[in-house]
Amino acid sequence: MATVFRNKAIECISRTDLAKYQLKHFNQTIASALQTPFYQKRLKKLGIYSSADIKSLDDIKKIPFTVKDDLRDSYPKGLLAVDIKDVVRIHTSSGTTGIPTVIYHTQSDLDNWTELVTRSLVACGVTDEDVFQNMMTYGMFTGGLALHYGAERLGALVIPSSSGNTQRQLQLMKDFQTTVVHATPSFMFHVASKIKELGYSQEDFSLKKAFLGAEPYSENTRRKIEEFYKIDAYNSYGLSEMNGPGVAFECTHKKDMHIWEDAYIVEIINPETGERLPDGQQGELVLTTLKRCATPLLRYRTRDLTTIIADPCPCGRTHRRISRIMGRTDDMMIINGANVFPSQIEQVIMKIPEVGNNYQICLTRDGALDRLTVKVEIYSKLFAGDLSELEKLKAKIRDALKASIIINVAVELHEPGSLPAFELKAKRVVDLREKL
Amino acid sequence: MAKQLNVFVDNRIGRIKSITEVLFKAGINIRAMAVQDRGDFGLVKLIVNNPEKAVFALQENNFACKEKDVLAIVLKDRPGGLFELLKVFPEDNVNILDAYGFAAETIKGSVFFVEVKDVEQVSQFLESKGFKVLTDAEVLEI
């Protein structure tokens, strides 16, 4: 089957031309970055006063890494490079310490982002004849909106069904003969387990493809989903700091993910030393935006571990690929597709006086869905002796966590001193989920 | 007013045994006991011969426990004994949080322990209706 391209000139650009293209856009990005209070200070210290001070792509090595804390410290406007009236959308994410981070988008930022998503969908064989059911959460979470606009631009029929509500998802899949879905792998398993129970059979559906994302999963999980639904399932990679989905995508060959190098400069570093690693070696992915006007980010440490694959892909695209994400260099947890840091939970529960010193975060799987249980010890001195007070305390913890991490949490109260205590660095997360 | 100890316990094997062990080692005599279960945790309610010493011993052993005033109401140990009390109990404005009782030979009757929010007020009301509400010292003498 011949490869279909969205933009063959860019997707198959020679590496030499790509380097020129990147340098041009890197210069523009530096110019944008100099418009932000954060980078202005940082770049001027390095003697970079204008984009003319960047002579080659190699000059990027002079620039220090940008980390999540920089985004937090710059909240809300320290990384804004344009007049706020030119911003048409923001995406914020809750921070590990309660301080959120924000990414601003101008109309051209959104257009470029959508184009990357459309290109990715085309690379996986989606066409304007497809019916695309988007089972990802809409809103601040970038996964829903990104694929929605990408599929619309392609001309597919888009069903913005959002996440959850299995009964309605199945009804829509049947009534509109959905051919492509976008979902988390755990939701795909969950839906699979409900088909019979809700009165449907596999023959009711015309599914051909699934885009699986927002949480790490294995080849084995992909195979299981493909076999169950008799479809092709594709992996993708993105993070809200880099727009969201559309950073890297598989093509129909399903061999690792093309990272769109016309939009990002890709580096892999040793997470301990910061030293740049050659292609083929596993390390932390570091990305620089090339096409973002409102929030340019230079050498952003993603905390995701991966490997660059430089071998040519049979599809003919020249953009290198990254392997499946192998893990994180921090303690971020992914719960039903949402990102949560243990420190966010700690921040919330330690503010509640009736909670004692120790707590534990337990992750389990209930069917196909993740379940988060927070176990806390009660504080002896504030124990009132009433059941009703204890129930109120539970509800208070549950509500406070829900407000902070936007996830439903089961709360358990425990006796003082009953949870494992740690002398140095506490290991408070117990992940009992089987790897997907 | 009678003193009851409310002890917080995890719902796991051996917790009540641990409480009784702590109290035994401290030389405490348990006079009455009840358990309120809430799934992952529960409250063990105890009437003991020396509440202060018991609280100290339990807290020393890491138990969260709280001393509460409860009503110890004397009932006649015969059919209808409890019914006579509940007939006059101002149920419309008093919420019984928990209750349990036992028959006691020494007083030729039964003692019914009732946890309510406003102990003093309910106690005075019951006494006005002719019920005997035992003091802390009287409970210890049973």
Q: Report the pLDDT value the prediction gives residue A326, as an integer from 0 to 100.
A: 86
The share of chain A scoring above pLDDT 90, in percent, equals: 76
Q: Name the residue of chain B whose CA is nearest to A410's CA.
A: B40
Residues of A in contact with B59 (CB under 8 A): 380
Closest CA to A7 of A258, A187, A186, A216: A258
Residues of B in contact with A416 (CB under 8 A): 62-64
Residues of B in contact with A378 (CB under 8 A): 8, 64
* Tens digit of each residue's pLDDT (9 = 90 or more) over B97-108: 888 888 877 778
**Any chain B CB within 8 A of the CB of A357?**
no
Q: Report the pLDDT value the prediction gives residue A331, as an integer from 0 to 100.
A: 83
Q: Report the pLDDT value the prediction gives residue A426, as an integer from 0 to 100.
A: 58
Is the pLDDT reported for residue A192 higher than 80? yes
Which of B3, B40, B58, B63 to mutate to test binding with chain A, by most A CBs within 10 Å of its CB?
Answer: B40
What is the least distance, in Å, from the CA of A185 to any CA of chain B? 31
Q: Report the pLDDT value the prediction gives residue A329, as an integer from 0 to 100.
A: 87
ipTM: 0.83
Query: CB–CB of B97 and A387 under 8 A?
Result: yes
**Any chain B CB within 8 A of the CB of A380?**
yes
* Tens digit of each residue's pLDDT (9 = 90 or more) over B49-79: 999 999 999 999 989 999 999 999 999 888 9
Scanning A396-425 for CB atoms below 8 A from B yields: 412-418
C-alpha span between A396 and A400 (Å, rounded): 6
Is the pLDDT reported for residue A228 higher than 80? yes
**Any chain B CB within 8 A of the CB of A362?**
no
Mean of the per-residue pLDDT values of chain A: 93
What is the least distance, in Å, from the CA of A430 to any CA of chain B? 18
* Tens digit of each residue's pLDDT (9 = 90 or more) over A364-403: 988 888 999 999 999 988 898 888 899 999 999 999 999 8
What integer is the mean pLDDT of A83-103?
86
Q: Name the residue of chain A whose CA is nearest to B69's CA.
A: A385
Query: CB–CB of B64 and A384 under 8 A?
Result: no
Residues of B in contact with A388 (CB under 8 A): 97
C-alpha span between A37 and A405 (Å, rounded): 29
Q: Report the pLDDT value the prediction gives residue A98, as an integer from 0 to 100.
A: 62
- pTM across the whole model: 0.75
Q: Report the pLDDT value the prediction gives residue A255, as an integer from 0 to 100.
A: 92
Is the pLDDT reported for residue B1 higher than 70? yes
| A vs B: CB pairs below 8 A | 53
C-alpha span between A271 and A305 (Å, rounded): 9
Of B8, B67, B68, the CB nearest to A378: B8
Task: With cut-offs at 50, 70 and 90, classify the pLDDT of residue B91.
Answer: low
Work out the burial of residue B125: count CB atoms within 10 Å of its CB; fewer than 13 is exposed, 13-18 middle, 19 or more buried. Answer: middle
Q: Report the pLDDT value the prediction gives residue A8, as an integer from 0 to 100.
A: 97
